[in-house]
């Protein structure tokens, strides 16, 4: 079954520094992959998604992610982090069950230091 | 308009109370979802409605009773809850039930069961 792993529970980045959040997937075929962000006490917002084609995907808020089949990864990146980016980030994959059941990774909490 | 609204934002209830959570979307989506999210955990799917019919029940206890009165509205009726049911309840909607559809999430209802 499809699954995603986010190996980092939390990451601290200085404001203005670059960011990379890791997501590894487990699936034989090319998966569909999503990145969501959740600000404290809020719902989830889609940052970007990958289905096929260009392996570098651009999202909202200056985020991008690169699909690497050889590494089974879909890491999220941002060149310069802003304090407002502090949030929980979830990688997700839909299960192949005939309906869209999203399975989320355990999440990575991003802390931004001044 | 890509907004999913949820009411109330916060709810405190006793174990003998009956309450309801409400979710609304006006994006013309025909799939709607309820998720439960415990603190520091990813969301977990509870129910999926497709074309106003319950498609998926992820073995949720009967003290949670979903209802979809029309294509824009989704309710979650609560009765005889336990303290361990305290969580953030998220509603989401999507265009149709395929892997490529984006789920749009509401801000959630923070439920506390005393």
Q: What is the pLDDT of residues A9-26, one digit of tens each?
A: 999 999 999 999 999 998
Query: Which of B29, B39, B42, B101 has the most A C-beta neighbours within 10 Å, making it the best mutation to test the interface with A?
Result: B42
**What per-residue confidence (pLDDT) applies to A111?**
97
Binned at pLDDT 50, 70 and 90, residue A28 comes out as low
Return mean pLDDT, chain B. Answer: 92
pLDDT higher than threshold 80 for residue A2: no
Chain position carrying tokens 């917002």: A45
Show the tokens assigned to A85: 């980016």
Specify the pLDDT at position B2.
66
**Option in B43, B97, B102 nearest A104 (CB):** B43
Six-digit token pair at B46?
């509870």
Cα B8 to its chain centre, rounded Å, is 12
Query: What pLDDT digit, counting tens, does each position of B24-41 carry?
Result: 999 999 999 999 999 989
The contacts of residue A99 (CB under 8 Å, 6+ apart) are B31, B48, B50, B55, B56, B97
The arithmetic mean of pLDDT across residues A45-64, rounded, is 92
Neighbours of A39 (CB within 10 A): 14
Identify any residues that bridge with B66 across adjacent strands, giving them in sequence order: B76
Partner B contacted by A84 (CB < 8 A): no
Where does the pLDDT of residue B97 fall: very low under 50, low under 70, confident under 90, or very high at 90 and above?
low
A79-88 residue pLDDT tens: 999 999 999 9
Write out residues 52-81 of A within 8 Å (CB-CB) of B: none
Whether the CB-CB separation of A2 and A96 falls below 8 Å is answered with yes
User: Which of A23, A34, A35, A44 to mutate: most B Cβ within 10 Å?
Assistant: A44
Identify the CA nearest to A56 among candidates A68, A71, A72, A70: A68
Contact call for residues B19 and B11 (beta carbons, < 8 A): yes
Residue B83 has pLDDT above 70, yes or no: yes
> Residues B97, B98, B100, B105: what is their CA dihedral angle, to the nearest 10 degrees?
20
């Amino acid at each position: 079954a499809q699954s995603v792993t986010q190996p980092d529970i939390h990451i601290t980045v200085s404001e203005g520094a670059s960011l990379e959040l890791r997501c590894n997937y487990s699936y034989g075929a090319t998966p569909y992959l999503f990145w969501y962000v959740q600000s404290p006490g809020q719902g989830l917002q889609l940052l970007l998604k990958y289905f096929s084609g260009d392996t570098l995907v651009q999202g909202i808020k200056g985020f991008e992610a690169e699909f690497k089949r050889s590494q089974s990864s879909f890491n999220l990146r941002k060149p310069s982090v802003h304090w407002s980016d502090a949030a929980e980030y979830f990688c997700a994959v839909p299960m192949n069950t005939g309906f869209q059941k999203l399975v989320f990774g355990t999440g990575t909490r991003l802390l931004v230091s001044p | 308009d890509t907004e999913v609204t949820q009411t109330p934002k916060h709810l405190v209830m006793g174990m003998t109370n009956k309450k309801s959570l409400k979710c609304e979307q006006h994006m013309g989506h025909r799939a709607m979802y309820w998720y439960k999210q415990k603190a520091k955990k990813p969301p977990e799917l509870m129910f999926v409605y497709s074309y106003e019919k319950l498609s998926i029940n992820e073995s949720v206890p009967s003290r949670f009773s979903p209802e979809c009165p029309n294509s824009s509205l989704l309710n979650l009726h609560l009765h005889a809850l336990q303290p361990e049911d305290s969580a953030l309840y998220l509603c989401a909607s999507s265009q149709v039930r395929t892997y490529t559809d984006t789920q749009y999430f509401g801000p959630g209802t923070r439920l506390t069961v005393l």
